[in-house]
Amino acid sequence: MTYSLEAGGKRIRPALVMTVSEAIQGSSETRGAALPVACAVEYIHTYSLIHDDLPAMDNDDYRRGKLTNHKVFGEAMAILAGDALLTHAFSLIPRSVRQGVPIDAALAIVEDLSTLAGASGMVGGQVADMLGEQGLTTVEQLEYIHLHKTSDLVVFSVRSGARIGGATEFQLEQLTLYARNIGLAFQIQDDILDLIGDESKLGKKTNSDVNQQKVTYPYLVGMEESKAIVDRLTEEAKSAVRRAELANPSLLLQIADYLVQRDH
């Protein structure tokens, strides 16, 4: 568990929990309440990577510049480490209540997590990805996979931060749109970087999608159109943040720009 948690990474999801919670009212007073949920989403994300790297899934040897969990500890321990991270994540969320989050908000966060990380969300996206390997023929099919496999956990991060910060229903709606768009843009950018990225910066081998004969956005619509879609999604995400009229939206706008400009 610790090996994969401490392997580094961008920590985008926990950062979004913290940033959104503070952006609603423009105050850092929500930081203590947001921290347990931020840790929970990173636990969920890390478990998904451990399982995703297994031979039965993507069969990757490296993650974040280090050997993948199963390459170090074996497949059985990797599966169990992922299981433990998933289970422990749910034990973290009640701690936010002790930091002042209303019980109704905490219950909504738990419900969001079980939905967006489960069969209707991230896991469902992985299932579609596994079933659709080499058989995808439309952008709509690929978008479904990216929205659920990648974007849904980003949506959870933003929605939970919004609930902790006391967002209105309109703000929650706009921030959900923001999250959906940056999550999809993030994954399309990953598709692009898999082809043209620098392995030393990515911390994993490039062309892995090609080698596994996976269908990606550049494969379906070309490199230039893929970049154009990322730009469009980013602008739509930023527009949603502006409509939400948050007390301090600047960091959320910067995160959207970072995700489209990143090289790893």
Round the CA-based radius of gyration of the chain to a whole number and report it: 18
Which structural domains are found in the chain, ordered by start? Answer: 2-261 (1.10.600.10)
| Distance linking the first and last C-alpha atoms of the chain | 24
Q: What are phi and psi of 200, to 5 degrees?
A: -65, -30
What's the rounded Cα separation, in Å, for the pair 207 and 26? 42
Beta-bridged to residue 62, according to DSSP, are 67
How confident is the model at residue 97, as a pLDDT? 95
Tell me the pLDDT tens digit for each residue of 220-235: 999 999 999 999 999 9
Looking at residues 45-72, what average pLDDT do you find? 95
* 145 within 8 A of 214, measured Cβ to Cβ: no
Question: pLDDT tier at 209 (50, 70, 90 boundaries)?
Answer: low
Distinct helix (H) and strand (E) counts, the chain: 16, 2
The CA angle 37-43-47, to the nearest 5 degrees, is 150
Greater pLDDT, 136 or 10:
10
Q: Which of 81, 85, 78, 99 is nearest to 32 (CA)?
A: 99
Angle of helix 169-196 relative to helix 223-244, nearest 10 degrees, comes to 160
Average pLDDT over the chain, rounded to whole? 92
**Complete DSSP assignment for 22-70:** HHHHT-GGGHHHHHHHHHHHHHHHHHHHHHHTSTTTT--SEETTEE-HH
Looking at residues 231-250, what average pLDDT do you find? 98
Strand, helix or coil for residue 200 = helix
What's the rounded Cα separation, in Å, for the pair 115 and 118? 5
pTM for the full predicted model = 0.93
* 185 within 8 A of 191, measured Cβ to Cβ: no
